[in-house]
Amino acid sequence: MEVTVDSLVRIVRDALAEDGVTGDLTSEGVLPADALCTARLLLKEPGVVCGLEAAALVFRTVDPEVRFEVLVADGDRCDDSPTAVARVEGPARAVMTGERTALNLVGRLSGVATLTRRFVDAVEGTGVAILDTRKTTPGLRILEKYAVRCGGGRNHRYGLDDGILVKDNHLRLVGGIRTAIERIRLASPDLPVEVEAETLADVREALACGVEGILLDNMPTATMAKAVELVGGRARLEASGGVSLETVRAVAETGVDFISVGALTHSARSLDLSLEVL
């Protein structure tokens, strides 16, 4: 799902409201109303930049007179630090008021993009796609999934209404894979179905039910390799469950099609950025 103007406006307005920007007591008390300034947005460590349009909207929302010049593009990898990624000019009060919200958004999204790129680089040459999950920050999902794309990853489901994934708790509640698939085919006969499998027996049952995708949940790599051989291309295979940078290459080399990594969004560290007035 693409980031729409409406969704970006909502996120920025909520973030600014959270920071109390309508009453910046410090900036209003210290800075003359007519004071102007120029500043640089600095990335202070190597990483993949993401979120600059969100930062630009932060400053424009605080004061339309603020000018925000992007110096690099979202998705660019910056290996030198510090690197100036944007230039900000305009009323000093507005620049100071929007500073923290802009830095929070760019730092968070750049962190997600950077971690994603590390996973993508780790499986280079295998043909495996790195997927995100729904383990996102409430209210920021659309931007975090955008950051995953900027890092070279791909998006899994955006939400519960964006595809069918029958998980372990669904299976426990209805008594197994066959019953779950029969019911979902009746409810949504035209949609592809992915089902979670924890054992090779589960994989066989899922294949017998004709599912389009199988999620191999927390399987040892040796078992995954056997599942790949068993499936023989008859269904898409997604590996999931505790995959780390240290293990992702071995998982990819089993021959699965996708690897989903919740850590892309739930464990990404925000990158270090600052706003430096010139």
Of the listed 60, 77, 135, 249, which one is catalytic? 135
Of the listed 24, 217, 238, 257, which one is catalytic? 217
Q: Catalytic residue at 135? A: yes
The dihedral sign for the CA sequence 112, 140, 171, 256: negative
Of the listed 77, 100, 134, 226, which one is catalytic? 100
CA 55 – CA 41 distance, rounded (Å): 10
Q: Catalytic residue at 217? A: yes
Of the listed 53, 194, 196, 202, which one is catalytic? 196
Q: Catalytic residue at 167? A: yes
Do β-strands 193-197 and 213-217 pair in parallel, antiparallel, or remain unpaired? parallel
Q: Which two tokens stand for residue 220?
A: 């040892």
Of the listed 167, 172, 234, 269, which one is catalytic? 167
Residues 6+ apart with CB under 8 A from 120: 130, 151, 152, 153
Nearest to 243 by CA among 141, 159, 157, 135: 135
Q: Catalytic residue at 149? A: no
Answer whether the bond into residue 32 is a cis peptide, omega within 30°.
Answer: no
CA 10 – CA 34 distance, rounded (Å): 29
Active site residues: 100, 135, 167, 196, 217
